[in-house]
Amino acid sequence: KTIDSLGDLRGKRVLVRSDFNVPLDGTTITDDGRIRAALPTLTRLVDAGARVVVTAHLGRPKGSPDPQYSLAPVAARLGELLGQDVALASDLVGESARSTVEALADGQVALLENVRFDARETSKVDAEREELAGELARLADAFVSDGFGVVHRKQASVYDVAKVLPSAAGDLVLQEVESLSRATTDPERPYAVVLGGSKVSDKLGVIANLLTKADRLLIGGGMVFTFLAAQGHSVGSSLLEEDQIDTVRGYLAQAEAGGVEIVLPTDIVAADSFAADAPHTTVAADAIPDGKMGLDIGPDSGALFAAKLADARTIAWNGPMGVFEFDAFAGGTRAVAQGIIDATAAGGFSIVGGGDSAAAVRRLGFDEAGFSHISTGGGASLELLEGKELPGLTVLA
Ligand code: 3PG
């Protein structure tokens, strides 16, 4: 259901769940991508004359107020972007929330304090979440779910509240789902997926599903060393999940049997330690010396990955290829980003998912417009690629 299905919203109080889980340095927002991504829905509601009450989380506070996770910096930035003051209620469903909502004029936006300051938000007990959802619902006449990054969470402000109020998906959620379903439902082929990030154990579900869906799986990042070890190579002191080696061996065998091409790096940038200025050298991927730790895929691998992406018609990318935060180890991520941009320019459809890859794209100075879609979701986009049903989406159907 879209916002249009909610009818005339002038003067109506609309509760919007957004994902404002932005990276902070103290109280400074270092990447406001998720706030900007919320603007289409919010401005649409403002223009419709709604009284907009936004609820969101920041970080993982332990279910009680914790000043370091206050949404105050978000309220300020949102106000700048919307061009109006955004009042921040100092609580979620208490006196401050009620009076802040009451004070809203048509077309005004207010933000409720971090929804995770209330332990009921993330409770595993249905009745506890439902109680909070009921209290949130009393603040509004309708609900718009627009926090794509949290739709995989069965939480009060994402899931339960949608069962109580007339509800709709916001523009961000619609656009994300539409884009990601181009990869999950009948992707145009070749369908290539680039996976990186530090841990293979975070990606088991997605790999298992992609082995039945993708044509090519390109693996980099810290997780690649478990793949190299599964092939019998020594990985020096690189990140390694020994308990996953057998699982990965199984994946390699399954890929071979199923005709899925697994592309692994042929060279690795190996360093003496984990530091921006660590001495480093490029070595063959099957011979990482003892004491050296792989922090990026090497230049040959970057070229190989780009070549494997060149003719792809659908591309999904999740996870950086190396420690891109350090310049010396950003080359692999750069090569993959450029390869995807080139493939997109040649007519492919590309999705970048996961907070880290999206941040890498911005930090390395790539033009976001070079990709077909940059997802605001980390876990949510992965779970969609994994083929899972997401509670925050099914509840809106
Ligand atoms: C994210 O950062 O991926 C979302 O905001 C979800 O956060 P969570 O993993 O703490 O639920």
Query: In CATH, what number is assigned to the domain containing residue 380?
Result: 3.40.50.1260
Check whether residue 139 and residue 190 sit in a common domain: no
Number of domains in the chain: 2
> Which of the listed residues 120, 153, 169 is the one where a domain comes to its end?
169
Residues 221 and 298 in one domain: yes
Secondary structure, 3-state, 279-323: CEEEEECCCECCCCEEEEECHHHHHHHHHHHHCCCEEEEECCCCC
58 annotated binding-site participant:
yes
Cα separation values, 199 from 185, 296, 377, Å:
26, 14, 18
Tell me which of 120, 148, 169 is where a domain ends: 169
The interface predicted TM-score (ipTM) is 0.98
The shares of helix, strand and coil residues in the chain, as percent rounded to the nearest 5, are 45, 15, 40
> Is residue 393 one of the residues assigned to a domain?
no
d(CA 84, CA 293): 50
Ligand 1 environment, Cβ below 6 A = 19, 21, 60, 149-150, 153, 355, 378-379
Which secondary structure element, helix H or strand E, spans residue 333, and what is its range? helix 331-345
| Residue 126 parent element (H or E) | helix 126-137
Question: Does 182 lie in the same domain as 161?
Answer: no
Residues 55 and 91 in one domain: yes
Based on the fold, state whether residues 164 and 182 are members of the same structural domain. Answer: no
Kindly state whether residues 38 and 160 are assigned to the same domain: yes
Cα(117) to centroid(ligand 1), Å: 15
Ligand 1 centroid to residue 223 C-alpha, Å: 21
* Domain limits for position 359: 177-385
Do 53 and 122 belong together in one domain?
A: yes
In a domain, 16, yes or no: yes
pLDDT > 90? residue 352: yes
Examine residue 304 and state whether it is found in any structural domain, yes or no.
Answer: yes
Answer with the one of 111, 141, 169 that is the final residue of a domain.
Answer: 169
Average pLDDT of the chain?
Answer: 96
CA distances (Å), 10 to each of 49, 54, 86, 170, in order?
4, 17, 19, 17
Q: Quick check: is 397 in a domain?
A: no
Q: Flag whether 343 is in a domain.
A: yes
- Do 205 and 263 fall into the same domain? yes
182 and 130 part of one domain? no
Contact 220, 322 (CB under 8 A): yes
Average pLDDT in the 182-211 region? 94
The answer, yes or no, to whether residue 175 has pLDDT greater than 80, is yes
pLDDT per residue as tens digits for the range 237-261: 999 999 999 999 999 999 999 999 9
Q: What is the pLDDT of residue 31?
A: 87
Closest to 220 in 3D by CA, of 244, 198, 190: 198
Same domain (yes/no): 31, 144: yes
Task: Report CA torsion sign: 38, 41, 44, 45.
Answer: negative
Q: Are residues 160 and 199 in the same domain?
A: no
* Reported confidence tier of residue 357, pLDDT bands at 50, 70, 90: confident
Question: Atom 7, ligand 1: which residue's CA is nearest?
Answer: 150
Region of poorest pLDDT, from 2-11, 12-21, 45-54, 378-387 = 378-387
Q: From the CA of 149, give the closest atom in ligand 1.
A: 4
116 falls within a domain: yes
Q: What is the pLDDT of residue 359?
A: 80
pLDDT at 356: 78
Q: What is the pLDDT of residues 40-85, one digit of tens each?
A: 999 999 999 999 999 999 999 999 999 999 999 999 999 999 999 9
Model pTM above 0.80: yes
Closest C-alpha to 282, from 273, 269, 292, 271: 269
Under the banding of pLDDT at 50, 70 and 90, the label for residue 184 is very high
